[in-house]
Structure 1
Amino acid sequence: MSTEVVPMTVETTAIDGLTRITTKAVTDERGTVREFFRTSGFADLGVPVPERWAQVNLTWTRRGGVRGLHGEAADKLIGVASGSAFGVWLDARPGSPTFGAVVTGSLTAGTQMFVPAGVCNGFQATGDDGCEYLYCFGREWTPGMAGVAVTPLDPGLAIAWPIPIDASDPTQLSAKDAAAPEFGELTR
């Protein structure tokens, strides 16, 4: 087998500033190396990134578990380290030209999203062994940080979660996320 190099690519989405990224990957007989982040690579393709990432979190979520929808006041770069997820993004930025737009999509290793501050991010783990989800934050998270949360069960958003969600099951949804307001309550 010879070495195969797949270049980094980016795609715009229906939400202003939300960018889908396929990472650069180099594969040979031993396996694959993926560039999760390279400042120059992102700059060359026009993806805005913070001067530095201030916090990096890695979560593990069991199959069917949902996290979000959270729109912190920080840019985020997210990706799946292992397993797979169904990602959901909601533009909750007042004044944004795409305010209220929802984007969904599958996430696997090698696929990332650049999520601008104020765009809500959420996901459901879909891999048989769950998923490891990596978050890079442009600002450190602090209690009371500015931002919004929207319940992932909001019927007005019509999110087609791939695995049915039981709101009373804490292995699927936290009480805090279940109790978050619907999007329409934020716009009144």
Structure 2
Amino acid sequence: MRLLRAQGRYGPRFREVLPALTGLALAVCGTVAAVTVAHRTLGPAALAAPALLCALTVPFLLQRRRPAARRRRGRYTEREIADLDTKGLALAVARMLRRDGWTVRLPPGDHVRPRVRARHPRGHRLEVAFRPVAEPLPDEEPRPVPRTGARAPVRLIVHRGDFGPRDRRWASGRANIRLLDGTLLRRWADGAPLDELIDLDAAGEAD
């Protein structure tokens, strides 16, 4: 269950739907009470009250649920991306990859430096890291060596800010490294497919 939640496939948690359920319960109770009182006072004309209350309540409840449902489908606003911590950003990236047709795996373990691994039906493999620089940090876990002759995975480095000239020079000398800065990340979160933002076909084969 925890793994499904981490991968965004378990659905909303109870605390996410509790406000909507509470609002619905209050609306039902209020409707019953209002109809009872109004019917005694106004007679049959009081039946119009539930319809009016529903017309006012239902759009409000749907509006509250829409952002969470949108995020589960892999679409985030610029403000939502900016407010995420690293773990939340990893979950958002996993959801956006699934939106684009990738099969995603979130390896368990380090929550300080989370990773995302994904495979596309066309054969592309992707490993995503989250850091403000292109080069691996000293305390990062070493990457596994790919099988001989296998296509090396694209290593995507995600940063909500801007990469510096040194980072871009370092990445340009490595065929399977891709940098996704804040501008591209926001376009991806808004619905642009990943393969329109970065080149997924230039990764070479493993030695």
TM-score by length of 1: 0.28
* Structure having greater relative contact order (Cα 8 Å, sep ≥ 6): 1
**TM-score, L = length of structure 2:** 0.26
Greater strand content: 1
Structure with max Cα Rg: 2
Choose between structure 1 and 2: higher helix proportion: 2
